[in-house]
């Protein structure tokens, strides 16, 4: 590159400033347009929200939505409680079934028979693990799905505690329910059985309730909102006309042409307001007459 001369440097700097100025001008224009649009939307939104039927419609829709959500929430909690109770009972019954049937095989460490029984138990779609432990808490049989490598010795402290105490152990997390029952033969604890059951069914209930909420929102938006808006507009249209007449009266226009065709209390309000405006206009005309006319002679007063 060749160095720029003084005049070329000045021209390049001027060109750079011109381009920068144009970019800045465009950015300013876009900012002004965005501000104008936001201000327009906000002002129209405020004006729309001032309408009685709009507020009444929104309050009605929000009330229906809140009521529906409360009912769905109560139903969801009721269902989840019932499902958790059923899952816990299932886990306990499955473990109890294994302890009653396979006590001899567990005592004799007949791995094949115990594993076949555990695999049959684990055939339930919600059971994710079925295991048998020695009285020292070491796993010696498991269903095929949850089985660990045979080279690894699996120790379960909960199974050891159950074998030592002879009492069942129940545990629960957000994803599963687990029962460990002691296995007794001839009055002696010879091991323990674990059955772990999944809570994925609860996730299905939650998805079902989410679908219900979406459907309720769709029904509200497509069906109830137009109907409620139409009813509210019909019921409160007279209030809007009274508001318009009051604004005109505040501006000095007392010739009230307010229609009194609304039903119910809104119609009574229109009638009362119209009567008030007529009476106010008559009083003002009377005051003007008294101010500019002699009460004795009836002649206009001199300026």
Quick one: pLDDT at residue 152? 58
Residue 102, pLDDT above cutoff 70: yes
Cβ(94)–Cβ(142) below 8 Å: no
Quick one: pLDDT at residue 287? 81
Sorting pLDDT into bands at 50, 70 and 90, what band is 1?
very low
Residue 228, pLDDT above cutoff 70: yes
Give dist(CA 33, CA 22) in Å, integer.
16
Cβ count near 117 (within 10 Å): 22
Quick one: pLDDT at residue 2? 46
Give dist(CA 170, CA 176) in Å, integer.
11
Cβ neighbours of residue 140 under 8 Å, at least 6 residues apart?
Answer: 109, 111, 114, 132, 133, 134, 191
**pLDDT tens digits for range 251-286:** 777 777 777 776 777 778 878 878 888 888 888 888
Cβ count near 22 (within 10 Å): 10
Cβ(148)–Cβ(135) below 8 Å: no
Cβ(171)–Cβ(196) below 8 Å: no
**pLDDT tens digits for range 192-224:** 999 988 887 777 777 888 888 888 888 877 877
Between 290 and 15, the higher pLDDT residue: 290
Cβ(162)–Cβ(192) below 8 Å: yes
What letters, b where the CB count within 10 A reaches 16 and e where it falls short, cover 238-267?
bbebbeebeebbeeeeeebebebebeeebe
Report which of 229, 225, 207 is spatially closest to residue 217, judged by C-alpha positions. Answer: 225
The whole-number average pLDDT for the span 80-98 is 84
Residue 243, pLDDT above cutoff 70: yes
Quick one: pLDDT at residue 109? 75
* Token representation of residue 186: 């001839």
The whole-number average pLDDT for the span 129-139 is 87
Give dist(CA 90, CA 124) in Å, integer.
10
The whole-number average pLDDT for the span 225-236 is 76
Give dist(CA 173, CA 171) in Å, integer.
7
149 burial (CB, 10 Å; 0-12 / 13-18 / 19+) is exposed
Cα of first residue to Cα of last residue in the chain, in angstroms, is 93
Residue 13, pLDDT above cutoff 70: no
β 169-172/127-134 pair status:
unpaired
**pTM for the complete prediction?**
0.53
Give dist(CA 217, CA 214) in Å, integer.
5
Place of tokens 């989410």: 210
State what percent of residues in the chain have pLDDT above 90. Answer: 2
Give dist(CA 117, CA 115) in Å, integer.
5
Cβ(93)–Cβ(100) below 8 Å: no
Mean pLDDT of the chain: 78
Quick one: pLDDT at residue 114? 84
The whole-number average pLDDT for the span 37-58 is 76
């Amino acid at each position: 590159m060749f160095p720029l001369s003084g005049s070329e440097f000045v021209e390049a700097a001027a060109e750079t400033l011109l381009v920068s100025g144009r970019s800045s001008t465009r950015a300013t224009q876009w900012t002004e347009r965005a501000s104008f649009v936001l201000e327009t939307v906000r002002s129209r939104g405020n004006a729309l929200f001032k309408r009685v039927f709009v507020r009444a419609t929104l309050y009605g829709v929000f009330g229906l939505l809140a009521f529906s959500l409360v009912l769905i929430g109560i139903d969801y909690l009721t269902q989840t409680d019932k499902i958790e109770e059923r899952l816990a009972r299932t886990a306990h019954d499955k473990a109890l079934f294994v302890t009653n049937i396979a006590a001899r095989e567990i005592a004799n460490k007949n791995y094949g028979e115990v594993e076949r029984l555990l695999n049959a138990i684990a055939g339930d779609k919600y059971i994710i693990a079925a295991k048998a432990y020695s009285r020292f808490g070491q796993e010696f049989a498991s269903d095929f799905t949850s089985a660990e490598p045979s080279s690894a010795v699996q120790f379960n402290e909960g199974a050891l505690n159950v074998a030592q105490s002879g009492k069942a152990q129940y545990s629960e997390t957000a994803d599963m329910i687990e029962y460990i029952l002691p296995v007794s033969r001839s009055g002696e604890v010879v091991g323990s059985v674990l059955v772990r059951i999944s809570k994925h069914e609860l996730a299905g209930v939650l998805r079902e309730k989410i679908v219900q909420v979406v459907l309720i929102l769709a029904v509200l938006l497509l069906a109830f909102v137009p109907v409620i808006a139409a009813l509210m507009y019909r019921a409160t249209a007279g209030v809007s006309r009274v508001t318009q007449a009051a604004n005109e009266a505040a501006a000095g226009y007392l010739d009230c042409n307010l229609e009194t065709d609304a039903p119910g209390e809104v119609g009574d309000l229109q009638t009362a307001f119209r009567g008030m405006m007529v009476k106010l206009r008559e009083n003002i005309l009377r005051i003007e007459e008294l101010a500019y006319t002699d009460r004795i002679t009836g002649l206009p007063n001199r300026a």
